[in-house]
């Protein structure tokens, strides 16, 4: 009995130690990444002796920041619990979240038969996103080195439609993966999105589609709560 208790304590200690250290490391690397990002325009200005136009920066910020700063924060709130600690820090530094890192982590957890939210899931998500980031990095380096011979191939009329449809292909497969396992949860958000995209003026629908994920997530959670209370899921 006492052995079991001691083992449980050790597990809890390990869990807490991993969680603490991944947040410390994550914050450190994220801080370094922010500094590196800010250093790029600074290095450009210093090297080429350029003084950027303050008015143009302000005007640009007003156009872009009002949309993307809230979206960035909402994305962190929405995607954090999906990815877990380590993978969140890594994915938010390396980017390409919805088109690559999150599907990659989802698929990895699905194959490993591990549920999101556990410490095991955090570890496997981190392995998945790290491997993904390394491969993208390598492909971009190779692509930049071979840009001249690769450009006509990648932009050829045969391949262009295929690459224009990476995201539909990705979400078609993921859609089956998730909806087949929990179709009741999908009814409300799918109906909401379809009705919204059919009813709204097309320009408005296009504009809001990029920032719609958090709203759809809230609606899905509300639907899930209803189904849970009615013991239907």
Partner 1 sequence: MDFSTIANSGFMYILGALVALFITLLSVAFLTKAWRAGINKGIDRAVMMKVIRSSAVFTIVPSIAILLGLITMAGGLGVPLPWMRLSVIGSVQYELIAADSAARAAGLPELLLRNMTPEVFASIVIVMTVCILAGPLFNIFFLKGYLGKVKNMQQKDNTWGKLVVASLFMGMICTFLGNPIITIRQEPRAGWIAMLVMVVAAAVYAVCDYLVQNKKQKWLDGFMLPISMIAGMVTAGFIG
Residues 59-118 that bind partner 1 (CB under 8 A): 59-65, 68-73, 75-82, 84-86, 88-90, 92-100, 102-108, 111-112, 115-117
Compare residues 5 and 54 and give the one whose CB is closer to partner 1: 54
Least distance (Å) between residue 215 CB and partner 1: 8
Compare residues 8 and 160 and give the one whose CB is closer to partner 1: 160
**In the Cβ-directed half-sphere of 152, how many Cα atoms lie within 13 Å?**
2
| 6 touching partner 1, by CB under 8 A | no
| 3 touching partner 1, by CB under 8 A | no
User: Interaction with partner 1 in 157-196: which residues (CB under 8 A)?
Assistant: 158-180, 182, 185-186, 189-190, 192-194, 196
DSSP string, the chain: -HHHHHHHHHHHHHHHHHHHHHHHHHHHHHHHHHHHHHHHHHHHHHHTT----HHHHHHHHHHHHHHHHHHHHHHHHHHHHHH-HHHHHHHHHH--IIIIIHHHHHHHHHHHT--TTSHHHHHHHHHHHHHHHHHHHHHHHHHHHTHHHHHHHHTSTTTHHHHTTHHHHHHHHHHHHHHTT-HHHHHHHHHHHHHHHHHS-HHHHHHHHTT-HHHHHHHHHHHHHHHHHTT--
| 151 touching partner 1, by CB under 8 A | yes
Compare residues 1 and 152 and give the one whose CB is closer to partner 1: 152
| 149 touching partner 1, by CB under 8 A | no
Compare residues 1 and 169 and give the one whose CB is closer to partner 1: 169
d(CA 124, CA 119): 9
| 198 touching partner 1, by CB under 8 A | yes
| 232 touching partner 1, by CB under 8 A | no
| 50 touching partner 1, by CB under 8 A | yes
Least distance (Å) between residue 6 CB and partner 1: 16
Compare residues 8 and 53 and give the one whose CB is closer to partner 1: 53
| 12 touching partner 1, by CB under 8 A | no
């Amino acid at each position: 009995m006492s052995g079991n208790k001691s083992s449980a304590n050790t597990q809890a200690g390990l869990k807490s130690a991993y969680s603490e250290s991944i947040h410390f490391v994550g914050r450190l690397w994220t801080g370094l990444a922010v500094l590196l990002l800010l250093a790029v325009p600074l290095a450009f200005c210093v090297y080429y002796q350029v003084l950027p136009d303050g008015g143009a920066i302000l005007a640009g910020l007003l156009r872009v920041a009002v949309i993307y700063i809230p979206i960035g924060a909402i994305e962190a709130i929405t995607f954090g619990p999906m990815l877990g600690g380590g993978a969140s820090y890594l994915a938010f530094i390396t980017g390409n979240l919805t088109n690559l890192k999150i599907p990659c982590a989802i698929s990895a957890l699905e194959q490993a038969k591990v549920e999101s939210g556990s410490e095991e899931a955090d570890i496997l998500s981190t392995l998945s996103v790290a491997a993904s980031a390394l491969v993208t990095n390598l492909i971009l380096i190779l692509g930049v080195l071979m840009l001249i011979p690769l450009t006509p191939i990648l932009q050829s009329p045969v391949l262009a439609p295929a690459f224009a449809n990476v995201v539909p292909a990705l979400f078609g497969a993921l859609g089956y993966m998730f909806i087949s396992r929990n179709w009741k949860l999908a009814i409300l958000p799918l109906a909401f999105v379809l009705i919204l995209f059919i009813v709204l003026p097309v320009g408005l629908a296009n504009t809001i589609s990029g920032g719609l994920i958090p709203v759809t997530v809230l609606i899905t959670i509300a639907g899930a709560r209803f189904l849970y209370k009615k013991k239907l899921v």
